[in-house]
């Protein structure tokens, strides 16, 4: 029988302790920015939810998770209310509409065990923040594969400071929060030659959403053109192209016509004129055969596209603008964003911006990793700050001057994010508008939150309900829910049900209708609808508090609430008319 050599064991233990001490500072720095990001995002995101500033899509995805938990996979009455059948064909929304007809999101099933343990709308907030944070940690590991711990830390700090990361994380829960984790995980597995993990991550990226293959196509194109992994790059390009075409033209259309009629026709109509339901192939062919139209869509208006790119580049000190890898990998998803119609696609604080992040950051890592073959001599002394910066960029060195510049860029990125009030996360700090003045103090919203909580608690879990947009998330853990002024919902048997409870936050609509036209339309529709229901006594008005109205079907009205409704109705309609006539 042999025994371990005590001297050897002591040497191994000493080496391990030395390695641990060497890496402890690196781990502490990473933990500092990770925990700071996680804590701040959770604090403001949960506050946004609990004070009724989350909105429609948060409730929609929570309802999908809740239905998944009960075996009704991907069904949602809220998705149905936003479908082309309701919006264009004026049909009654259905309770068993399958969300996969709008977006193909199989990876939601990965997180169902988490939701099963915490079946609450706030779980969606925590899940999104944790996934985005985890993406930053994997990014650090990817950067460390090439770079020093110091440079990897700066890149990770750029991720946690990015407008395209912070802004979408504050948004309602969306599929895109999975992009950084899965895509950076795929790239890290590729660098480590862990091919079985790589292909699992590829499948997970594709499962995020039907158009996730566009991001993969950009990465595959880079691997092909750079000749780093030409066969792998070609395989990714073919796989992603076939996947997007197959899912958008075959799979999704088995559930509904929403993708061609609602999304492709509205966002890419210029490339398929006269076609009410173009396929992805038809839109792509339209781009190829109309190059001038495509060029105009990509470049104009130039200022919005320029500032969008600046927003993506600034947390990395504009290095992605110099990196061919960043241009290639992010160029393909950027093309789909720049060619879309409408204003939301070019907003860097919403979900679409997250699809650009992996290519931008991986390209920056590769730029820093590519050291000059003929290093330049150190800059002569003394030199100007600008000369030092130029030497740093040519020789790709993280000099003290460049670190200062990078710190300024990180600060500007954070300040720009906060002052833009992304997804109204800082509504109590940043006015929504100065002219006209629109601002909601924190004490005011807390007081109103208590009133809405009282009304929400009075709605039984099994009851059917129709509410204004900001109350949908809190009541979305149920089978039947729609948005006011909608009142009807069709069940699986074709029977049309009228909602039992109605809650309308008219104060919120009144406050924001001065700057948002859709809110005016809602006020013009909801107030007369509620008045008609009260007058014909099909619904009884139970409570009116702080311009929040609570009704129930088939019960008599509360005399005090009924007396308060008349003056409130006149006040709100007069306010709308005044705005319309301005």
What is the per-residue pLDDT for 297?
87
Yes or no: say if 157 and 33 are a contact pair by the CB < 8 Å rule: yes
What is the per-residue pLDDT for 12?
44
- Rounded CA gap, 208 and 214, in Å? 12
DSSP 495: -
> Which pair of structure tokens corresponds to residue 270?
């210029």
Q: Pick from 127, 49, 166, 157: which is nearest to 421 by CA?
A: 166
Q: Name all contacts of 572-575 with Cβ < 8 Å and 24+ positions apart.
A: 572/506, 572/510, 572/523, 572/527, 572/547, 573/524, 573/527, 573/528, 575/510, 575/513, 575/523
Ranges 296-300, 373-377, 400-404: which has the least confidence: 373-377
Tally Cβ neighbours within 10 Å of residue 101.
23
Partnered with residue 483 across adjacent β-strands are 467
Give 3-state DSSP helix, strand, coil % of the chain, rounded to 5. Answer: 65, 5, 30
What is the per-residue pLDDT for 372?
43
What is the per-residue pLDDT for 269?
82
DSSP 156: H
**Residues in Cβ contact with 49 at an 8 Å cutoff, skipping those fewer than 6 apart:** 58, 121, 122, 125, 473
Yes or no: say if 207 and 251 are a contact pair by the CB < 8 Å rule: no
Yes or no: say if 133 and 181 are a contact pair by the CB < 8 Å rule: no
Tally Cβ neighbours within 10 Å of residue 336.
17
**Does residue 119 surpass a pLDDT of 90?**
yes
DSSP for 530-577, please give it: HHHHHHTTSEEEEEEETTEEEEEETSPPPHHHHHHHHHHHHHHHHHHH
The dihedrals phi and psi of 75, each to the nearest 5 degrees, come to -85, 145
What is the per-residue pLDDT for 392?
62
Chain centroid to Cα 517, Å, comes to 23
**Does residue 394 surpass a pLDDT of 80?**
no
**Does residue 428 surpass a pLDDT of 70?**
yes
Question: How many Cα atoms are found within 13 Å in the side-chain-facing hemisphere of 509?
Answer: 28
Q: Name all contacts of 432-435 with Cβ < 8 Å and 24+ positions apart.
A: 432/512, 432/515, 433/514, 433/515
**Does residue 373 surpass a pLDDT of 50?**
no
The rounded mean pLDDT for the chain is 91
Chain centroid to Cα 336, Å, comes to 16
DSSP for 289-307, please give it: H-HHHHHHHHHSSHHHHHH
Question: How many Cα atoms are found within 13 Å in the side-chain-facing hemisphere of 39?
Answer: 6
Yes or no: say if 285 and 277 are a contact pair by the CB < 8 Å rule: no
Across the range 204-232, mean pLDDT stands at 95
Tally Cβ neighbours within 10 Å of residue 316.
29
What is the per-residue pLDDT for 2?
46
Tally Cβ neighbours within 10 Å of residue 553.
16
What is the per-residue pLDDT for 361?
98
Read off the pTM.
Answer: 0.93
Strand (E) or helix (H) holding 512: helix 506-512
What is the per-residue pLDDT for 380?
53
Residue listed under structure tokens 């500033």? 53
**Does residue 554 surpass a pLDDT of 70?**
yes
The tens digit of pLDDT for each residue in 176-203 reads 999 999 999 999 999 999 999 999 999 9
The tens digit of pLDDT for each residue in 234-259 reads 999 999 999 999 999 999 999 998 88
Residue count of the chain: 582
The fraction of the chain above a pLDDT of 70, given in percent, is: 92
Distances, alpha carbon 533 to alpha carbons 524, 530, 554, in Å: 15, 5, 10
Adjacency order of strands within the sheet including 548-553: 481-483, 465-467, 501-505, 548-553, 539-545
The tens digit of pLDDT for each residue in 335-345 reads 999 998 877 78
Tally Cβ neighbours within 10 Å of residue 560.
11
**Does residue 122 surpass a pLDDT of 60?**
yes
């Amino acid at each position: 029988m042999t025994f371990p050599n005590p001297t050897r064991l002591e040497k191994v233990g000493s080496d391990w302790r030395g390695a641990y001490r060497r890496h402890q500072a690196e781990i502490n720095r990473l933990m500092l920015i990770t925990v700071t990001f996680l804590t701040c995002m959770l604090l403001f995101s949960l506050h946004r939810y609990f004070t009724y500033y989350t909105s429609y899509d948060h409730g929609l995805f929570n309802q999908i998770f809740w239905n998944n938990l009960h075996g009704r996979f991907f069904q949602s009455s809220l998705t149905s209310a936003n479908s082309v059948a309701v919006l264009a064909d004026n049909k009654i929304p259905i309770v068993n509409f399958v969300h996969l007809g709008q977006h193909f999101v199989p990876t939601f099933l990965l997180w169902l065990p988490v939701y099963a343990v915490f079946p609450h709308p706030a779980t969606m907030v925590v899940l999104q923040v944790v996934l985005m944070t985890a993406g930053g940690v994997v990014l650090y590991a990817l950067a460390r594969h090439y770079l020093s711990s110091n440079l990897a830390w700066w890149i990770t700090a750029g991720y946690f400071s990015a407008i395209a990361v912070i802004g979408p994380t504050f948004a309602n829960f969306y599929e895109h929060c999975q992009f950084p984790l899965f895509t950076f995980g795929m790239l890290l597995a590729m660098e480590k030659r862990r091919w079985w993990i790589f292909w699992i991550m590829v499948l997970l990226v594709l499962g995020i959403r039907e158009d996730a293959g566009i991001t993969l196509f950009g990465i595959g194109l880079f691997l092909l053109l750079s000749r780093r992994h030409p066969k792998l790059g070609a395989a990714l390009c073919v796989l992603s192209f076939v996947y997007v075409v197959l899912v958008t033209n075959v799979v999704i259309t088995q559930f509904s016509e929403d993708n061609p009629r609602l999304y492709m026709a509205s966002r890419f109509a210029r490339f398929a004129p006269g076609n009410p339901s173009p396929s992805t192939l038809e839109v792509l062919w339209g781009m190829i055969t109309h190059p001038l139209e495509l060029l105009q869509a990509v470049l104009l208006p130039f200022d919005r596209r320029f500032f969008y790119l600046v927003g993506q580049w600034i947390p990395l000190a504009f290095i992605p603008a110099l990196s061919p890898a960043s241009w290639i990998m992010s160029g393909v998803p950027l093309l789909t964003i720049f060619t879309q119609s409408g204003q939301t696609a070019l907003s860097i604080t919403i979900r679409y911006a997250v699809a650009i992040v992996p290519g931008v950051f991986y390209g920056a890592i590769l730029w820093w990793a590519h050291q000059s073959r003929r290093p330049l001599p150190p800059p002569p002394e003394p030199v100007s700050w600008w000369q030092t910066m130029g030497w740093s960029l040519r020789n790709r060195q993280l000099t003290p001057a460049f670190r200062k510049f990078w710190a300024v860029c990180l600060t500007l990125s954070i300040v720009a994010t906060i002052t833009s009030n992304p997804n109204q996360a800082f509504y109590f700090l940043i006015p929504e508008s100065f002219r006209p003045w629109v601002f909601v103090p924190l004490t005011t919203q807390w007081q109103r939150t208590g009133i809405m909580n009282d009304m929400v608690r009075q709605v039984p879990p099994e009851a059917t309900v129709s509410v204004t947009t900001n109350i949908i998330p809190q009541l979305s853990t149920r089978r039947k829910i729609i948005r006011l002024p909608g009142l009807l919902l069709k069940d699986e048997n074709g029977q049309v049900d009228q909602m039992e409870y109605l809650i309308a936050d008219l104060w919120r609509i009144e406050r924001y209708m001065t700057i948002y036209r859709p809110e005016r339309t809602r006020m013009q529709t909801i107030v007369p609808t509620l008045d008609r229901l009260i007058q014909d006594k099909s619904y009884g008005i139970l409570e009116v508090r702080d311009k929040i109205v609570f009704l129930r079907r088939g019960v008599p009205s509360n005399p005090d609430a009924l007396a308060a409704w008349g003056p409130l109705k006149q006040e709100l309609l007069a306010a709308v008319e005044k705005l319309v006539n301005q």
